[in-house]
Amino acid sequence: MRRIVCLSTSLALACVIPAAAPAAADGSACTHHWSGPQVCVRLEGRNHWNAVTAIWVNPPRSERSRPVRLTLHGRQLGPVETARRVGSTLSYSWSAFDTGTDTKVCVQFVGISRVACDTTRYIGTRAAL
C-alpha cells in the first residue's frame, strides 16, 4: 500500500510540475506594483537583434495616446515616440534593431514614474521557441 501511495504521489507531482523548458530568445518584464500604472517591456528576437514593445497595461479609459521613451543602458535611443491605444492597453513597437547582448533595455511612458526593463541575452544559434 505504501508503494502505491508513493508512486501515486510521484506521478501527480510529475504532472503538476512541468519539466524545465529551454530558454527562449523572446522575453518580457513588467513593473510589479499592486496599484497604479503597470508598464511592461517585451523583447522579440535573438541574441543582439530585437524588436522592443512598450505596453501600459492599465491606462485610464480616457487615455488614447501617451509619449514613450526607449533607453539602452540608461541612454535614450532616438526620439520620444507616441504609444496608441490597442484594446485596453497603450503600446508602441520599435522595429527590430541591433540592441547588443547583455543590454539593459527600458521603456518609460512620459509622466509615469514606473520603468519596465529587461536585458537582452545571447542564446546562440538554437531556434527560438
Pair type for strands 49-56 and 27-30: unpaired
Place of cell 517585451: 42
The mean per-residue pLDDT over the stretch 96-112 comes to: 96
- Domain 22-119 sits in CATH 2.60.40: yes
* Short-list 31, 43, 29, 41, CA closest to 114: 31
pLDDT at site 126: 63
The mean per-residue pLDDT over the stretch 28-33 comes to: 84
Q: How far apart are CA 67 and CA 82, in angstroms?
A: 4
- Contact between 77 and 70 under an 8 Å Cβ cutoff? The reply is yes
pLDDT at site 26: 60
User: Counting runs of H as helices and runs of E as strands, what totals does the chain give?
Assistant: 1, 9
Residue 103 predicted with pLDDT over 90: yes
Question: Domain ranges in the chain?
Answer: 22-119
